[in-house]
């Protein structure tokens, strides 16, 4: 990548001066895409673009040096897949504090779920709006997941059509693991855990109310509490958060 090395060095020196600012790093092998992303971030006072890379190896080397909080990673790179970049980065101790958002033209559910399974915090399509992209970056900096709406719809469709076992196989590949572990009880109340368990199984609010012998308004109250505690905006986000915590 040409013309960015000096900016990398400047950013590395200024990192201590950017407290409170989200340090962003872009990984994409197309200069036009990187230029477009630079333009989107330009002028955002709470987001600082500290570097770019056009290959997986370059991304790994620079990320370890510059220590960004959030990386936007293209799924397809010349030397390796973006998923491999995330896998290798999250496999390092120094990469644990970095959140990776996959940015791609592919709305493939299998690719998206594989990315999430190796440690990505979200999956965004390149035709998303500026507002969605910046919102996803801000959420990722807080450790909150983000899924493209189309991927969310497909996850919920999987639940509706194939149920819990298909979701386990698709998203976690841990089909023998019990739904909801001890980690859930540390964050959710017993009733909230029950509600989340039924959300994962594809139950509607009405079905949950009938199953647990409570009112629909109580279900909505529990659901709101679950979303708040998991940093989720909807059912798919809550499911993703539960997956990333190893509860399912």
Domains of the chain: 5-147 (3.40.50.2300), 178-244 (1.10.10.10)
User: pTM surpassing 0.85?
Assistant: no
CA gap 47, 41 in Å, rounded:
7
> What does the pLDDT read at residue 80?
92
173, burial (CB in 10 Å: exposed 0-12, middle 13-18, buried 19+): exposed
Model confidence at 174: pLDDT above 50: no
pLDDT at residue 167 greater than cutoff 60: no
Radius of gyration of the chain (CA): 19
**162: pLDDT strictly greater than 70:** no
For residue 74, what are the β-bridge partners?
Answer: 103
The 47-53 sheet, strands edge to edge? 47-53, 22-27, 70-74, 99-104, 122-125, 146-147
In this prediction, residue 6 carries a pLDDT of 41
Phi/psi for 23 (5° steps) reads: -90, 115
What is the pLDDT at residue 248?
63
Percentage of residues of the chain with pLDDT beyond 90: 38
Read off the pLDDT of each residue in 224-238 and give the average, rounded to a whole number: 87
Q: Which residue has the higher pLDDT, 220 or 173?
A: 220
Q: Which residues, other chains included, contact 143 with Cβ-Cβ below 8 Å and sequence gap of 6+?
A: 99, 121, 231
Q: Is pLDDT of 195 > 80? A: yes
Confidence of residue 231 (pLDDT cuts 50, 70, 90): confident
Query: Binning pLDDT at 50, 70 and 90, where does residue 173 land?
Result: very low
Q: Can you tell me the mean pLDDT for 45-73? A: 95
Q: Which region among 61-70, 86-95, 173-182 has the lowest average model confidence (pLDDT)? A: 173-182
Q: Is the pLDDT of residue 12 over 80?
A: no
Q: Which of 18-34 are b and which e, b meaning 16 or more Cβ less than 10 Å from the residue's Cβ? A: eeebbbbbbbbbeeebb
Task: State the average pLDDT over residues 78-101.
Answer: 89
57/19: higher pLDDT: 57
Report the mean per-residue pLDDT for the chain. 81
| pLDDT of the residue at 16 | 42
Average pLDDT of the segment spanning 196-206: 82
CA distance readout (Å), 141 to 35, 49, 65, 70, 112: 22, 13, 18, 6, 20
Distances (CA, A) of 114 to 148, 175, 239: 15, 15, 15
Q: Who's near 80: CB < 8 A, 6+ residues apart?
A: 55, 56, 57
What pLDDT score does 152 carry?
75
Q: What is the mean pLDDT of residues 52-75?
A: 95
């Amino acid at each position: 990548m040409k013309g960015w090395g000096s900016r990398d060095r400047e950013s590395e020196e200024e990192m201590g001066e950017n407290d409170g600012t989200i340090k962003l790093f872009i990984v994409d092998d197309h200069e036009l895409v990187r230029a477009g992303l630079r333009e989107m971030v330009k002028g955002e006072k709470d987001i600082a673009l500290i570097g770019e890379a056009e290959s997986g190896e370059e991304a790994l080397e620079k990320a370890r040096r510059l220590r960004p909080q959030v990386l936007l990673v293209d799924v397809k790179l010349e030397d390796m897949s973006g998923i491999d970049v995330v896998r290798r980065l999250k496999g390092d101790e120094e990469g644990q504090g970095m959140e990776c958002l996959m940015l791609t033209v592919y709305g493939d559910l299998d690719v998206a779920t594989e990315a999430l399974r190796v440690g990505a915090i979200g999956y965004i399509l390149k035709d998303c709006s500026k507002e969605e992209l910046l919102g996803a970056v801000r959420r990722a900096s807080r450790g909150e997941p983000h899924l493209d709406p189309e991927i969310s719809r497909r996850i919920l469709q999987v639940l509706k059509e194939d149920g819990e076992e298909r979701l386990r196989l698709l998203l976690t590949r841990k089909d023998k693991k019990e739904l909801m572990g001890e980690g859930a009880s540390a964050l959710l109340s017993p009733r909230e855990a029950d509600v989340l368990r039924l959300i994962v199984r594809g139950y509607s609010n009405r079905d949950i109310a009938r199953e647990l012998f409570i009112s629909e308004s109580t279900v909505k109250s529990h659901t709101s509490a679950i979303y708040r505690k998991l940093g989720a905006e909807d059912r798919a986000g809550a499911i993703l958060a539960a997956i990333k915590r190893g509860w399912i």
